[in-house]
Amino acid sequence: MNYRVIKNNDVFLLTDHHGDIRGADPQGGLYMKDTRFLSKLELSLNGKRPLLLSSAADENYLARIRLTNEHEEEEGVVKLWRESVELVRERFVYGEVLYETISATNFSTKDLAFDLDIAVDADFSDMFLIRGFQPAEALGKITARSFGKEGWHAVYDGVDGVRRETRVTWDIEPDEVFDQGNIRYGIRLKPKEAKRITLKVIPSIDGNLPAIYPKDEALSELKRIYADWGEQSTKVETDSLVLGRLYERGMQDLRVLLTDFGQGLFPVAGLPWFAVPFGRDSLIAALQMLPLYPTVAKGTLEIMAAHQGMEINPWKDEQPGKIMHEMRSGELARSSQVPFAPYYGSIDSTPLFIMLAAEYAHWTGDMDTVACLLPNIERALEWIDRYGDRDGDGWVEYYQESSKGIANQGWKDSADSVIHKNGEFAHAPVALVEVQGYVFQAKQRLAPIVAKLGKEEMAKRLTVEAAILKSKFDEAFWMEKDRFYAIALDGDKRQVQSVTSNPGHLLMSGIVEPERAREVARRLVAPDMFGGYGIRTMSNESTGYNPMSYHDGSVWPHDNSLAFLGMGRMGFKEEAATVISGLLSAAEKFEYNRLPELFCGYDDSIGYPVSYPVACSPQAWAAGTSVMMIQTILGLKPDALEGTIVLDPFLPDGIDRLIVRDLPVASGRISVALRRKGDGGELTVEILSNDSGCDIKIGGKSVATNRD
């Protein structure tokens, strides 16, 4: 990625590799609640930009950037010898405050004198403006700026009635302050001497200042939070260097993307542009995180329930019972210039909400949470039947009503993502193939849960409805010529006959019969769909294929994760291993072994995966892919309600050892070791510990538990 980003809770900082927010960069900044509270942060030495030595943000919450000076001469006299000054910028966010320490060290053999300039500013731009939205109405204005040797302050009064402020303070008084937000330190250093200046950037809304801590205390507490996360999470040991690194990276990325909006930890979609509550993205990320931290699913369900649709509101694509798509809190959303406070234009968030609730209950046995959420679940089911299927044909379909909403309302939400063989875009209402699978899975998995809650009639109804959906599904979506499922039915009930990755999601749902499922699995790893680094979103033989596109030939790791999870569940281990191995090969080539939101769909003959230019990184459901790899390799199928855990493991080529410790399931944790000796050697499975309260079965047989 060509930027550096750090985040803590609801605040994130986006800079270039030098650590600067520059006027030439229209997107860098310090953001909170969809507003840029700092639009300039530039460091210069003797009026020149320092040279970059290294730039790292591998810890997500802490960035270190190392710089040095260029050579300076004036009329043959050396003013500053090259590389004689080391500048280190260390920054982190804690308690909604950005802390930055700039350390200057003299590595020359002589006394040095130079000027260190820091320039700051704030424009309070709304996230939608930064992403290119052109407002039709007036916006607020900056009403005050003040500056002096003690600090800098700016105030913005928005048309939404909210006052937003930014304060910048420093621990060492500068020598000069000039030009509103430009400060200068005259640095004098003896050989090997160092000086440190710490800045604090404090955003606030309506005068609510965050708590401000001493820098060392704040950093210590932040490190403790991340250490606790690592200690409490599932641990993985493996002889596969890339799998180990990918998992550790995914675990760290997921933690930094967690935000507490009042209902517990919740995964925002991704950085930099989607650090907000999402429906589909957050629900899928929480589903992926069940083997890592199932409590996140509970927080996700509760925030979705708290913002469930209450009325018919075409401006927001809202109907009663519908689960939101995206919730923004900036000036444009709060003043209703965009319909995102929240916006409901997602066809899959509602069935995914029910599905996550059901999977969470089967994973944890937490019936109390599901019982509390049951009114919301029932309203979501009613939305599926009433508003999701307006024409009563049995398919859940989307239709955009908001003039500033989203046209394609599945996960492939770009305008050209649902395309016929003749190149025409499908017109609404559109019934996406994977959404029908989500609905089936939601109803089928929910039925035994509500039965245990004493709602026998509801359980019977859900079982019957799921069976009816399954019985008619193939006739509507199966493409006999392609031996594959269509991506969708259009507004005329015609199949949209592109071969895409969407049917891969069906494999985890149970809606597809085994023989057809096998054909789907095989096609997903055939050369037209699988280029060596993952399953493409569209076959390279389809009309709309474009390897550089957002959804018509690119590779999305989360999309692959849902497919390989289903492959593993249905016993297609070879195909699952192929996809996992491809993603590992891709991860090996990306910075920090981090899988981005997506990458281009070229095959592996190039020798490396081709980056997509504006992919989010880190991104929640891309990070969750590594966790789902572990679940799939273990063949882990928990049923906490019945007190059983099934393992049906395999090891992809190149992995001969996988030890998973402290995996949370049911009322406790399990630890499992998989080992294989030599190529094609026998796989051994050892249960190291089990205090889950469940019986573990491997190949249908109960096994004893060993202790380390």
Q: H or E segment at 302?
A: helix 295-306
Residues 6+ apart with CB under 8 A from 311: 318, 319, 320
Phi, psi values for residue 656, rounded to 5°: -115, -5
What are the two backbone dihedrals, phi and then psi, of residue 688, each rounded to the nearest 5 degrees? -80, -35
Judged against a pLDDT cut of 90, whether residue 57 lies above it is answered with: no
As a residue count, the chain comes to 708
Query: Could you report the per-residue pLDDT of 169-212, keeping only the tens digit for each?
Result: 999 999 998 877 899 999 999 999 999 999 999 999 999 999 99
- In the chain, pLDDT over 90 holds for what percent of residues? 90
Distance from C-alpha of 619 to C-alpha of 274, rounded to nearest angstrom: 9
Average of pLDDT values for 565-571?
97
Give percent helix, percent strand, percent coil of the chain, each to the nearest 5: 30, 30, 40
How far is Cα 120 from Cα 105, in angstroms, rounded to an integer?
A: 23
Q: Is 418 left (phi over 0), alpha (psi -120 to 50) or beta?
A: beta
| Residue 267 phi, psi dihedral angles, 5° rounding | -80, 115
Rounded Cα–Cα distance for residues 526 and 515 (Å): 17
Sorted by where each begins, the domain ranges of the chain are: 4-223, 240-541+552-590+617-634, 645-702
The reply to whether 4-223 and 240-541+552-590+617-634 are identical in fold is no
Task: Evaluate if residue 66 carries a pLDDT over 80.
Answer: yes
Backbone φ and ψ for 271, nearest 5 degrees, come out as: -110, 145
In angstroms, the CA 576 to CA 653 distance is: 11
What is the C-alpha to C-alpha distance for residues 65 and 565, in angstroms, rounded to an integer? 39
Name the residue among 455, 295, 314, 491 with its Cα closest to residue 378. 455
DSSP summary character for residue 70? P
Structure tokens of 624? 């969750």
Contact between 587 and 593 under an 8 Å Cβ cutoff? The reply is yes
**Helix spans in 525-658 (H):** 557-569, 573-587, 620-634
d(CA 395, CA 433) in angstroms, rounded, equals 9
Q: C-alpha distances in angstroms, 46 versus 71, 79, 115, 117, 580?
A: 11, 10, 5, 8, 51
The tens digit of pLDDT for each residue in 483-512 reads 999 999 999 999 999 999 999 999 999 999
pLDDT at 707 over 50: no
Read off the amino acid at residue 410: G
What is the per-residue pLDDT across 226-244, written as a single tens digit (0 to 9) for each?
999 999 999 999 999 999 9
Mean pLDDT of 81-110: 96
Q: Are strands 431-432 and 488-489 parallel, antiparallel or unpaired?
A: antiparallel
The per-residue pLDDT for range 338-383, each reduced to its tens digit, is 999 999 999 999 999 999 999 999 999 999 999 999 999 999 999 9
- Band (pLDDT 50/70/90 cuts) for residue 26 is confident
Find out whether 372 and 434 touch, Cβ atoms under 8 Å: no
- Tell me the β-bridge partners of 326: 278, 343
Residue-level pLDDT at 205: 97
Of 485, 652, 495, nearest to 568 by C-alpha is 652
Instruction: With a cut of 70, say whether residue 1 has pLDDT above it.
Output: no
Question: Angle, to 10 degrees, between the axis of helix 241-256 and the axis of helix 620-634?
Answer: 130
- pLDDT score, position 705: 61
Cα distance between residue 501 and residue 583, in whole Å: 15
Q: Which of 421, 626, 689 is nearest to 542 (CA)?
A: 421
The domain defined by 4-223 carries CATH number 2.70.98.40: yes
**CA angle, 106 then 107 then 109, to 5°:** 95
- Tell me the pLDDT tens digit for each residue of 667-690: 999 999 999 987 778 999 999 999
User: Can you say whether residue 206 is alpha, beta or left, with left for phi > 0 and alpha for psi between -120 and 50 degrees?
Assistant: left
Q: What is the pLDDT of residues 591-635, one digit of tens each?
A: 999 999 999 999 999 999 999 988 888 999 999 999 999 999 999
Closest listed residue to residue 703, CA positions, set 648, 664, 658: 648
Report the pLDDT value the prediction gives residue 60, as an integer from 0 to 100.
86
Tell me which residue of 142, 19, 165 sits closest to 92, measured CA to CA: 19
Task: Report cis status (omega within 30 of 0) of the bond before 618.
Answer: yes
Q: Can you list the alpha helix ranges (DSSP code H) found in 599-659?
A: 620-634
pLDDT-derived band at 706, boundaries 50, 70, 90: low
Q: Could you tell me the end-to-end alpha-carbon distance of the chain, in angstroms, rounded to an integer?
A: 42
pLDDT tens-digit readout, 280-333 = 999 999 999 999 999 999 999 999 999 999 999 999 999 999 999 999 999 999
Q: Report d(CA 195, CA 650) in Å as an integer.
A: 55
Residue 452 near residue 641 (C-beta atoms within 8 A): yes
Percent of the chain's residues with pLDDT above 70? 98
Predicted confidence at residue 261, as pLDDT, reads 86
Pairing of strands 695-698, 644-647: parallel
Query: Residue 110: what residue type?
Result: K
How far are the Cα atoms of 439, 581, 582, 686 from residue 561, in angstroms, in the given order? 19, 12, 12, 25
Rounded distance between C-alpha atoms, residue 71 and residue 403, angstroms: 56
Q: Which residues are CB-contacts of 167 (< 8 A; sequence separation ≥ 6)?
A: 151, 152, 153, 200, 201, 202, 204
Q: What is the crossing angle of helices 456-477 and 433-452, to 10°? A: 160
**Neighbouring residues of 379: CB distance < 8 A, sequence distance ≥ 6:** 308, 320, 321
pLDDT band at 699 (very low <50, low <70, confident <90, very high): confident
8 A C-beta contact, residue 688 and residue 700: no
Q: What is the reported pLDDT for 132?
A: 87
pLDDT at 277 over 80: yes
Query: Across all residues in the chain, what is the average pLDDT?
Result: 95
Range 240-541+552-590+617-634 has CATH code 1.50.10.10: yes
pLDDT score at 703: 66
